[in-house]
Structure 1
């Protein structure tokens, strides 16, 4: 189960197009959709799947699109936020589970973005009609309530849906070009042979355990997720916080038809339990249960980058799966040296014996291998009672 505020831009866009395509197909068969909730979509790999069949209802000639405002706030506006301003949609959408209100969207769009008849209709005028409707204490909640009271032909509805589809298909994320982690594979501290050693270690682990579902925390562009799938993993759910890396990961999954779903995750601020009674949308921790785990080049970001205690970081990772692979990146590695270049080294307990100790406390180390000249070491762990090695 994943939520729209965890989807990369390209997956949110794909879900929007899927919703519109389904609606158009239903209209051809005499049906329509009673709402336009983004939560009605889930993903198998990067393929959207509609899950709310109860929202499919018979179409009545002349009725307005009841889910128009909902579609704008949960699909269109988050996509426009990214495409027009370069601001990721995740935090805003998560902060308001119903999406980005049309009034707010109209306020944040730059002037140059408003010079578009589509933006004018679906955002600016939409927001104005919403404000007018509320001021008049209108009984109808839809932003286009005045239009909603008039008959709307099926042809007009099809034109509206098709126009939105054409517009959304052409949207591109702004400001997700070259980033440090999006180009990580081209700028790692690994020599070619060392990368192969790391890949071989991951492959051996997956071949031995054949996890049906594998988490790849810090998946970056998905290279090791792909390796895990090639080795026999059933499917992989990847997590990263870098927008460019996630877009590259989605492209990899598409190009190679992988059972791989890349999702946005800020480990220091993961999705919480929220909604009605904090039970409507489950938090990351409640859903974070897999058969296997890859946590490659993640630990140093938590401990050194975000000041998380080694014990807590290891405990958080091991809670996700009964077995897996964790990478330890030592202080002498160039990547860690960059992190320490502009701050005081206050991490005396960040060393390889510390991670050995923490893994042994919570289970056992099945195997370990140093895979780089800088001392990067991979640990295969088995979670258990803490019987050491």
Structure 2
């Protein structure tokens, strides 16, 4: 199995004393993920190693690997120094080690738009539907088992595949409902944003939380009766029943592999029916309402392109406040990968669908409020890394963003600049726009604030803050005279 080349130039990893365990990989004792430099390794115990070799020799897995639907994976040879990994407590040692393709940027499901979550769910079901006839299933059904290459979802939890036992239900069904199906139902049936629900609970939305939202005629909405109410009822009744007993009951009732495949097909049909077009907001049409003249737009684009090309090809670019992705697309010409962050789910969903239609694999759009970015979550707050811990960009674009944070959200200007600098890797570049207080957009924000509340929101104060964090290499005042762009080199 050959790990595909994504055309990325990995950043040289800082020195570490031995391989580092992945904080989010501890729930399955049969396998554990480690980081060794730029390598992503998965250690397998004897049972998991046997399952892997059967999987690699199966008829369904290699085509998925070739198509890029599962992450590139290869077993390391016996003499490889990378196989020297720490042994788990009370373990007899790892039987073998796999090396995985490193995804360009790790994201979390609560940072995805509706269409992204649905496409991830459909890939998960497609893989399961291919696995079942070949005698395999997946132990897990979590949305966290999927990541992205641009707008292309990829299944990453190779350790989740396991041989199928007769009469065995899909062990990942509950996780699938809680982290994929239920969030999609919230959007499609109720028009609710699922992101706060998933961010609040690492294990997703419980049936008991869904039930009260779908009473009366809502019980008849597609999928609700079966996957919310019946699922919740069965789960309560079988709480004291062992897995072996459940398996025996299903086998006695005639539950077959064919029925399992039919169930997955039914889930696929349901997920495809679920759709949600988020209501249009001010931000959807922001590019036409933000007050730029034609000359401003042209000058700004030239400055950004020059800044992106000045330092050579970039490994990772963050476009913060990306809106319709205009500058993220420009950045993709000069970078291996671009993460386009925007707080409005409707804007991100539209951008994702557009990029997906273009077949774009180098731009990942994410939903995130930069005044309340994704924190660390899960066990000890490190199982799911915070955005700041994941963002180590060669270039950060912060265009028409600072005034929204400093004035719109009352974040002190020194904090805004420190945050932007903190997301930029050492030796990287920050390309930032300052909107002057007399600009129409800034004036609109200030109109809703008490007089004199932002005495330090000034261009000279902003430039002083930039100089404290790096060297201003270039600046440009746009023709309108109320906005200035800067390119800052960080030490």
Is TM (by shorter chain) over 0.5?
Answer: yes
Superposed, which structure 2 residues align to 1:26-37 within 5 Å? Answer: 26-37=131-142
- Give the 3 Å change call, closer, same or farther, for CA 29–296 of structure 1 in structure 2: same
Q: 1:361 aligns with which of 468, 473, 479?
A: 468
Of 391, 394, 405, 1:302 maps to 405
Counterpart-to-counterpart distance in 2, 1:277 and 1:141:
32
Native 8 Å contact 2:283 2:347 kept in 1: yes
Deviates more, 1:157-166 or 1:28-37: 28-37
Cα offset, 1:251, TM superposition: 2.0
**Alpha carbons of structure 1 residues 147 and 153: separation in structure 2 relative to 1, 3 Å:** closer
User: Does the CA-based 8 Å contact 2:167-2:247 persist in structure 1?
Assistant: no
What does the per-residue CA deviation read over 1:199-241, in whole Å, with 9 as the maximum and x for residues that have no partner?
11111111112211100111112111001113x2211001111
Equivalence for 1:371: 478
Tell me which residue corresponds to 1:132. Answer: 237
TM alignment of 1:30-179, pairs within 5 A: 30-109=135-214, 111-116=216-221, 118-134=223-239, 137-140=240-243, 150-174=253-277, 176-179=278-281
- Residues 26-78 of structure 1: CA distance to partner in whole angstroms, max 9, x if unpaired? 12322211211211111110111111111111223332111111110111001
**C-alpha contact (below 8 Å) 1:324/1:380 kept by paired residues:** yes
**Comparing both structures, which one devotes a greater share of its residues to helix?**
1
Partner of 1:269: 372
SS in 1 for 2:129: helix
Q: Any gaps of 5 or more consecutive residues in structure 1?
A: 385-389
Of 282, 287, 293, the match for 2:390: 287
Aligned-pair CA distance for 1:304? 0.5
Paired with 1:299 and 1:141, the residues of 2 have a C-alpha distance of 57
CA pair 30-139 structure 1, distance change in 2 beyond 3 A:
closer
TM superposition shift of 1:113 = 3.2
Secondary structure of residue in 2 paired with 1:234: strand
For the structure 1 residues 263 and 9, does the alpha-carbon distance in structure 2 shift closer, same or farther, using more than 3 Å as the test? same
Residues 1:343 and 2:446 are matched in the alignment: no
Corresponding residue SS for 2:284: coil
Partner of 2:349: 247
Residue of structure 2 in register with 1:387 after alignment: none
Rounded to whole Å, the distance in 2 between the matches of 1:374 and 1:262 is: 31
| Mean CA deviation greater in 261-270 or 140-149 | 140-149
Name the structure 2 match of 1:194. Answer: 296
SS in 1 for 2:223: helix
* Greater shift in the superposed pair: 333-342 or 95-104: 333-342
State the 1:192 CA deviation: 2.2
Structure 1 match to 2:37:
none
**1:117 to 1:253, Cα distance in 2 relative to 1, 3 A:** closer
Counterpart in 1 of 2:89?
Answer: none
Rounded Cα–Cα distance in structure 2 between residues aligned with 1:14 and 1:93: 17
For 1:127 and 1:143, locate their aligned partners in 2 and report how far apart those are by CA, in whole Å.
16
1:234 aligns to what? Answer: 336
Q: Is the contact between residue 63 and residue 151 of structure 1 (CA under 8 Å) also seen in structure 2?
A: no
Go from structure 1 to structure 2 and tell me whether the alpha carbon gap of 1:87 and 1:143 turns closer, same or farther (over 3 Å shift). farther
TM-score normalised to the size of structure 1? 0.92
Q: 1:228 to 1:141 in 2, by over 3 A?
A: farther
CA RMSD, 1 decimal: 2.2
Relative to 1, partners in 2 of residues 1:149 and 1:329: Cα closer, same or farther, differing over 3 Å?
farther
Answer whether contact 1:367 1:380 (CA < 8 A) is retained: yes
**Counterpart in 2 of 1:326?**
432
> How far apart, CA to CA, are the structure 2 residues paired with 1:200 and 1:373?
15
Alpha-carbon distance between aligned partners in 2 of 1:161 and 1:295, rounded to the nearest angstrom: 43
Secondary structure in 2 matching 1:324: strand
| Alpha-carbon displacement from aligned partner over 1:228-264 (angstroms, at most 9, x marks no partner) | 113x221100111101110122123212222110111
**SS at the partner of 1:367?**
strand
CA drift of 1:338 comes to 1.9
